[in-house]
Structure 1
Amino acid sequence: MNLEPQQRFSRRRAAVVVFIGLTVAGAVIGAVWSVLAPSAHGVVALTRSGQRVQTYLGSESDHLFVAAALLIGLLTSMAIVAAVLVWQWRAHRGPLLATALWVGSIAAAGAAAGVGALLVRWHYGPVPFDTAPVTPENRIFYYSEAPPVFFAHGPLQIATTLLFPAAIAALTYALMAVATPRDDLGAVPPMERAPV
């Protein structure tokens, strides 16, 4: 049986390829993010009463927001590009590939957050609040804090970070489907309309 290049995959296999491709792309984005995300420079100091305090230098605490926003931006860009690329696979357009796209986008966001968090944690280590070598003779210790992948650690903020790229991918795919004048979504080969 001689199949055209676009039809050598079944729809199910095409959905698996989309899911795995997005997950791998998410891991790569996490690695790229770990290099680009700015760390926050802080200080642990010993007060006159012997208490440890921690603060950020100048406006360095803004980097905690910027790093999480950078990850969202990278994932959003990936979601739009992925939706356009998946739409180009004309032979498999439809609900199964759309589902693979948004589920894969969630997996990509999870992979990006996981890989990114592991890499920055490995590079910067934990915040040294309890282990900072501050003494009455040397009261100040400077450090760099790993950038966060989420805006906060609450379940709502984490879920929003994971679901936002999926929503953007689904919306992009849906807009292309709505803009297609044909009922078969421009499939190749074209489907003939049933007589009315």
Structure 2
Amino acid sequence: MKRQKAALTVFLGLTLAGAVVGAVWALLAPSAHGVIALTRSGQRVQTYLGSESDHLFVSAALLVGLLTSMAIVAAVLVWQWRIHRGPLLATALWMGSVASAGAAAGVGALLVRWHYGPVPFDTAPVSPEHRIFYYSEAPPVFFAHGPLQIATTLLFPAAIAALTYALLAVATPRDDLGALPPMERVLVTAGGTEPGRR
């Protein structure tokens, strides 16, 4: 029962931390400045100023970077919970990392959408007298809206967290992964046997 409670704590803690990461991302992610213009034929066209379209990639990469950093830190912190080390906590770690990425993306997307609003392509106040309208586009949380790109953003931090936890487990010489209290073992000596500690 205690291990299930520990796993739930890890899962909920990571989800909450993901929401905080999403809020931080919304403050740091750069918007893309664009322009909506009215052509001589009366059609609306939209483009980005200079290299501002690069910000669409930078913003999504920033979220992945923040989530990956958090996943590594979370794996190390979860590993410190020695008494609960094992498969259950590892599962809670990667599942929590997925939930964390989802929470970060959701909170981040809501905050930037609230701040910048949608791209005003149809509502931009352009007219034959004022043919150009400048705007700032909300930074995206995903590289694209395809299912593969979204899944990659959500699963990549979880894979990093699981790999970090696995590397810590592999580096531990004890079968019980160093859980407390230390396991008793019997040392075989020339004079007989005596209890020892790992």
TM, length-normalised to structure 1: 0.94
Deviations 1:81-106 (A, max 9, x none): 00000000000000000000000000
Structure 2: tracts of 5 or more residues without a match:
188-198
Counterpart check, 1:125 vs 2:117: yes
Structure 1: tracts of 5 or more residues without a match:
1-8
Deviations 1:71-126 (A, max 9, x none): 00000000000000000000000000000000000000000000000000000000
Deviations 1:31-55 (A, max 9, x none): 0000000000000000000000000
Distance of 1:12 and 1:64 partners within structure 2:
40
Distance of 2:2 and 2:98 partners within structure 1:
23
Distance of 1:194 and 1:141 partners within structure 2:
80
Tell me which amino acid in the other structure corresponds to 1:190: P
Give the RMSD, CA atoms, in angstroms. 1.2
Distance of 1:94 and 1:181 partners within structure 2:
14
Counterpart check, 1:87 vs 2:61: no
Counterpart check, 1:76 vs 2:71: no
TM, length-normalised to structure 2: 0.93
User: Which residue number corresponds to residue 166 of structure 1?
Assistant: 158
3-state SS of 1:79 partner? helix
3-state SS of 2:184 partner? coil
Distance of 1:41 and 1:125 partners within structure 2:
13
| Aligned residues between the structures | 187
Deviations 1:133-170 (A, max 9, x none): 00000000000000000000000000000000000000
Tell me which amino acid in the other structure corresponds to 1:107: A
Measure how far apart 1:190 and its partner are.
Answer: 1.6
3-state SS of 2:92 partner? helix
Distance of 2:145 and 2:26 partners within structure 1:
18
User: Which residue number corresponds to residue 64 of structure 1?
Assistant: 56
User: Which residue number corresponds to residue 3 of structure 1?
Assistant: none
Aligned pairs for 1:1-196 within 5 A: 10-193=2-185
The structure with the greater share of residues assigned to strand is 2
Measure how far apart 1:194 and its partner are.
Answer: 8.5
Tell me which amino acid in the other structure corresponds to 1:90: R
Task: State percent identity of aligned pairs.
Answer: 87
Distance of 1:194 and 1:72 partners within structure 2:
48
Distance of 2:5 and 2:26 partners within structure 1:
32
Which stretches of structure 1, 4 residues or more, deviate above 4 A after TM superposition? none
Distance of 2:154 and 2:91 partners within structure 1:
15
User: Which residue number corresponds to residue 6 of structure 1?
Assistant: none
3-state SS of 1:44 partner? strand
